[in-house]
């Protein structure tokens, strides 16, 4: 039977009639997953109903006021690991990982970037060597958000150094509690440490933790990366919400800060924010037809540029007051808090938006080549075995 808004509302009502939201939070979330009301576009039995993606908005509205998942803490699991596991995982892997991922019982991190492989991710050097039914992993990852509280990590490692860089990679689920996994904090200009270095020394992973075929890691990673860019830059925002809303609220509440120049800049950024919001809505509608494509790179690119411009305007508009900083205490943060911190924090943290999830320079190449169809840049290392590349 095809599902529509009314049918989904009836299912949520029936669920709430049998499950008290005031009871145990975790049991409520587990039951919601089992009822197929976690992410309705996922298959039945895996937290979904096999329904159109747009019906998720209906579900979220109906569950207002009930226990919720922690999107900030679970961003990587929900937005990157889950769609990759769904696309490439075995039935056993889907059954094992998706439920505790969605409920937040198990937090995930992303083990992709390395000190020598950031924008050019395919040059990564972390090695995974097969030993019977296990893989022995050695290497270093960097800029790993939330590794300090993660149970699992999505990992790309090199399994064949004798072939060109894109073809020698394999994708794994890494046990972050395994012997040989060491997590060290990276303190940021904001004072906190949401990022980490992760050192992998003789880490043994069972072959049952491999996602996709051996040597097919680059293709699997593309699913993660495309979903990552949508998760960062394509989330739903109400009109006048997000960063533009914060700046506009200050403008309305503080008339003594206004100048003709600031007014013009704010209007231009308001228009840009609205265009970005509507483009994001169109992108999410396109997602109903399948996996995200390179268009998500354009959304993330716009998000980064807009966030940096708005946070800069916010600081400038406040004059000397904008130079103050609320708290530089070193701490291990759980998530990025753009709306609970001051303008100085937002200004500094926004600098990372053009780096994380793909640098703006790389994203412009993706948009140029894969969206606009422009000629590719010359790549002299395309057919060269990875072990022969200069590093």
CA distance 310 to 287: 28
Please spell the DSSP secondary structure of 152-203, one letter per residue.
EEEEEEES-TTSBGGGSEEEEEEETTSTTEEEEEE--TTS---EEEEEEEEE
Please name the residue that has the structure tokens 């198990």: 106
Enzyme catalytic residues? 228
Please name the residue that has the structure tokens 């270095």: 197
3-class SS of residue 5: helix
- φ/ψ of 173, rounded to 5, equals -100, 120
Please spell the DSSP secondary structure of 71-114, one letter per residue.
TTTTHHIIIIIHHHHHHH--HHHHHHHHHHHHHTSS-EEEE--B
Contact 63, 12 (CB under 8 A): yes
Please name the residue that has the structure tokens 């020394």: 201
CA distance 247 to 225: 30
CA distance 264 to 262: 5
Please name the residue that has the structure tokens 């972390």: 126
CA distance 322 to 263: 17
């Amino acid at each position: 039977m095809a599902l529509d808004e009314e049918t989904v509302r009836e299912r949520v009502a029936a669920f709430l009639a049998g499950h008290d939201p005031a009871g145990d939070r975790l049991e409520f979330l587990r039951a919601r997953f089992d009822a197929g009301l976690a992410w309705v576009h996922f298959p039945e039995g895996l937290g979904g109903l096999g329904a159109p993606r747009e019906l998720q908005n209906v579900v979220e509205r109906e569950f207002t006021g009930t226990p919720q998942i922690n999107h900030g803490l679970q961003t990587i699991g929900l937005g990157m690991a889950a769609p990759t596991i769904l696309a490439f995982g075995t039935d056993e892997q889907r059954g094992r990982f998706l439920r505790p991922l969605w409920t937040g019982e198990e937090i995930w991190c992303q083990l992709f970037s390395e000190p020598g492989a950031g924008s050019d991710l395919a040059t990564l050097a972390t090695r995974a060597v097969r030993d019977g039914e296990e893989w022995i992993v050695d290497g270093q990852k960097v800029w790993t958000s939330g590794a300090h509280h993660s149970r699992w990590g999505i990992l790309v490692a090199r399994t064949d150094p004798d072939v060109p860089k894109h073809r020698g990679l394999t994708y794994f689920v890494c046990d972050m509690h395994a012997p040989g996994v060491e997590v060290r904090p990276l303190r940021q200009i904001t004072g906190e440490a949401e990022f980490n270095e992760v050192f992998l020394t003789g880490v043994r992973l069972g072959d049952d933790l491999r996602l996709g075929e051996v040597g097919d890691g680059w293709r699997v990673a593309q699913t993660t990366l495309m979903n990552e860019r949508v998760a960062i830059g394509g989330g739903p925002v109400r009109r006048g919400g997000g960063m533009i809303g914060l700046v506009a609220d200050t403008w309305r509440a503080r008339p003594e800060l206004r100048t003709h120049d600031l007014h013009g800049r704010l209007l231009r950024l308001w228009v840009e924010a609205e265009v970005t919001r509507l483009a994001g809505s169109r992108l999410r509608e396109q997602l109903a037809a399948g996996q995200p494509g390179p268009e998500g790179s354009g959304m993330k690119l716009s998000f980064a540029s807009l966030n940096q411009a708005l946070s800069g305007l916010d600081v400038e508009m406040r004059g000397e007051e904008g130079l103050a900083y609320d708290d530089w205490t070193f701490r291990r943060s759980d998530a990025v808090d753009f709306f609970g911190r001051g303008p100085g924090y937002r200004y500094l943290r926004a600098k990372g938006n053009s780096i994380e999830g793909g640098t703006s320079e790389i994203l412009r190449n993706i948009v140029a080549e894969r969206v606009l169809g422009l000629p590719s840049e010359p790549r002299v290392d395309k057919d060269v075995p990875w072990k022969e590349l200069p590093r």
